[in-house]
Amino acid sequence: MEAAAAVAAAHRREWAFVLAATVRVTRDLDIAEECVQDAYERALRSWERAGVPERPGAWLTTVARRRALDLRRRDATFTRSLALLVEPPFADEDPQDVPDDRLRLIFTCCHPALDPSAQIALTLRLVCGLRTSEVARAFLVSEPAMAARLTRAKKKIAAARIPYRVPSAEELPERVAAVLTTVHLVFTTGHTAPAGGQLVREDLIEHAIDLARMLHALLPADREVAGLLSLMLLTNARSPARTTPDGELVLLADQDRSRWDRDAIAEGLALLPVPPAGRFALMAAIAAAHSGAPSFEDTPWPAIVALYEALECAWPSPVVALNRAAAVGFAHGPQAGLAALDALDAEPALATYGYLAAARADFLSRLGRAGEARAAYEEALLLTENAVERDFLERRLAAL
Amino acid sequence: MSQYLVLIYDNEAAWANAPEGTAQRIMAGHQQFGAANGGSIQGGNALQPTGTATSIRHDSSGEVTVTDGPFAETKEALGGYYLIETADLDAAIAVAKQIPVVAGGVEVRPIMVFD
């Protein structure tokens, strides 16, 4: 394999492992980042000359940790002058036999004492290895603003002494949930970009799925981890049918199901926890119910309504209530759906949520109440910023 | 080990209107908290209500104004604090979670170390 391609592959697959192992030596996230960046640059030169090593990750780890040890020796005061990460004392290990610290790294990045937007930014920068400019682009902020956000978060980790460790068994479920929420947010940000002309950001979806695969490999018994990976695979499997070649949004009802990615669906179904209990496992079960239906008409709507009801108990949220109401409309007719939506009118969190108005508009138009449907589509348009979604709503409005 | 100041913010109106026995319950809660976390607690105090507070502000021209009231008017006012010492933030949060409040919460702030 060509050296540049091997470095790119090692960047995607090994970055988190190399960085997490280097943090053991530096006990400082910034310095570890620098050493790892440096190791990847050396790899490009060295692998071109001497060929790609058998274990690229081990090679990169050795080089990054050696650089960290050099820095530490050169500046003996450095360990005293910095607020170091809190962690259990480590023996100086053989660099060939580095323990897997990726869980420590991701739990530190997704610590609940950090702002949620900082958790995502840190995860993309430190665990996925995105450059600051790439993280900035993912969230549509300027590079200096993102650099400041990352610096602030890293300062808090050091100053407040957020520990670099895997939480105790007692705290673990709650902390895993925080990590999964972050990974899911990376996915949903990619699946429907909050603004701009592109509906889907493939790069973010890939990073989210890679993160979930990594977590599943490290926590194989966790059913919510398996549930999230299953959910993302099943949802993303529909993406080839979700837009037309011109980039127009296609509703689930109108999608060409032969274009769904059957391999991804099979992988998602195999991961699905049975019976589904937690938030992500239930969401995955709903996605699975859609995946198995040969056509929109054959969707098992009553089962989906029941899954949404279970999801509302496991993870109450106005958006889940809205989805349940929409499913009621498909299970029991637009009149019943409209009644279920009306019950959500008082929900303040949905007042500015375009999907509520869009769902109402759809039921009204199916009932032949075109005037009210028009008003509801217009309301949905006022609340929607994504250009592809706006275009879709405008087409529905014109078709009334 | 690191030191943290745990600031207790509570709703003064909720305190004033609380049913009988609330003050005793909270006080007992603090005693229980102290007994359970004696190893971590370095100090602490309850504060008089914000009606007794005086704020002193310095503007950019060096002018000093003294006003009646707390520095920031908020629904939940600073009502007391503990100084605690723990291994890390997770341990500090575990201690701080046990502090009883009527209708508020606590803020955990690491103490700055100068060397």
pLDDT of residue A75: 73
Q: Does A73 or A236 have the greater pLDDT score? A: A236
CB pairs under 8 A, 24+ apart, for A266-269?
A: A267/A233, A268/A229, A268/A230, A268/A231, A268/A232, A268/A233, A268/A234, A268/A237, A269/A230, A269/A234
What kind and span of H or E run contains B106?
Answer: strand B105-110
Which site among A111, A161, A166, A170 would you substitute to test the B interface, given the most B Cβ atoms closer than 10 Å to its Cβ? A161
Which site among A86, A111, A170 would you substitute to test the B interface, given the most B Cβ atoms closer than 10 Å to its Cβ? A86
pLDDT tens digits for range A102-112: 999 999 999 99
CA B51 to chain centre: 16
Which is nearest to A104 in space by CA: A1, A32, A196, A11? A32
- The answer to whether A162 contacts B87, with C-beta atoms less than 8 Å apart, is no
pLDDT of residue A246: 82
Three-class SS of residue B56? strand
Which is nearest to B44 in space by CA: B110, B102, B99? B99
Whether omega for the bond prior to residue A275 falls within 30 degrees of 0, making it cis, is yes
pLDDT of residue A385: 83
Please name every residue paired with B46 in a beta bridge, in sequence order, or none if there are none.
Answer: B80
- The answer to whether A163 contacts B93, with C-beta atoms less than 8 Å apart, is no
Residue of A80, A163, A171 lying closest to B88 (CB–CB):
A163
Tell me the percentage of chain A whose pLDDT exceeds 70.
92
Residue A73 pLDDT > 70, yes or no? yes
Give me the mean pLDDT over the A39-48 stretch.
Answer: 95
Q: Does B93 touch chain A (CB under 8 A)?
A: yes
Q: Does B68 touch chain A (CB under 8 A)?
A: no
Residues of B in contact with A161 (CB under 8 A): 2, 87-89, 110
pLDDT tens digits for range A284-302: 999 999 999 999 999 999 9
What kind and span of H or E run contains B80?
Answer: strand B76-86
Q: Does A148 or A196 have the greater pLDDT score? A: A148
Residues of A in contact with B89 (CB under 8 A): 111, 113, 160-163
Shortest alpha-carbon distance between residue B19 and chain A (Å): 31
Q: Could you tell me which chain A residue has the CA closest to the CA of B107?
A: A113
Shortest alpha-carbon distance between residue A156 and chain B (Å): 10
pLDDT of residue A349: 82
Domain spans, chain B: 2-46+73-110
What is the distance between the alpha carbons of residues A28 and A34, in angstroms, rounded to a whole number?
10
Residues of A in contact with B2 (CB under 8 A): 86, 161
Q: Does B13 touch chain A (CB under 8 A)?
A: no
Provide the CATH number for the domain formed by B2-46+73-110 in this structure: 3.30.70.1060
What is the distance between the alpha carbons of residues B93 and B87, in angstroms, rounded to a whole number?
11
Chunked mean pLDDT (size 10), chain B, 115 residues = 95 88 93 95 93 90 88 91 96 95 94 84
Residues of A in contact with B108 (CB under 8 A): 160
pLDDT tens digits for range A338-385: 999 999 988 888 888 888 999 999 999 999 999 999 999 999 999 988
Residue A229 pLDDT > 60, yes or no? yes
Residue of A80, A160, A171 lying closest to B89 (CB–CB):
A160
Phi, psi of A318 (to 5 degrees): -60, -35
**Between vectors from CA B76 to CA B93 and to CA B9, what angle results, nearest 5°?**
30
Q: Does B88 touch chain A (CB under 8 A)?
A: yes
- The answer to whether A163 contacts B90, with C-beta atoms less than 8 Å apart, is yes
Tell me, what DSSP letter sits at residue B112?
P
pLDDT of residue A98: 64
Which two structure tokens, joined as six digits, stand for A361? Answer: 């508009």
Phi, psi of A290 (to 5 degrees): -70, -40
ipTM for the predicted complex comes to 0.78
Q: What is the pTM of this model?
A: 0.83
Residue A80 pLDDT > 70, yes or no? no
pLDDT of residue A194: 57
What is the distance between the alpha carbons of residues A250 and A246, in angstroms, rounded to a whole number?
11
pLDDT of residue A251: 85
Residue of A86, A111, A159 lying closest to B87 (CB–CB):
A86
* Average pLDDT of the residues of chain A: 89
Shortest alpha-carbon distance between residue B12 and chain A (Å): 26
Residue A195 pLDDT > 60, yes or no? no
Q: Does B111 touch chain A (CB under 8 A)?
A: no
Shortest alpha-carbon distance between residue B24 and chain A (Å): 31
pLDDT of residue A94: 55
What is the distance between the alpha carbons of residues A217 and A154, in angstroms, rounded to a whole number?
27
Residues of A in contact with B5 (CB under 8 A): none
pLDDT of residue A83: 56
Three-class SS of residue A225? helix
Residue type at B4 in one-letter notation:
Y
Q: Does A262 or A251 have the greater pLDDT score? A: A262
pLDDT of residue A106: 95
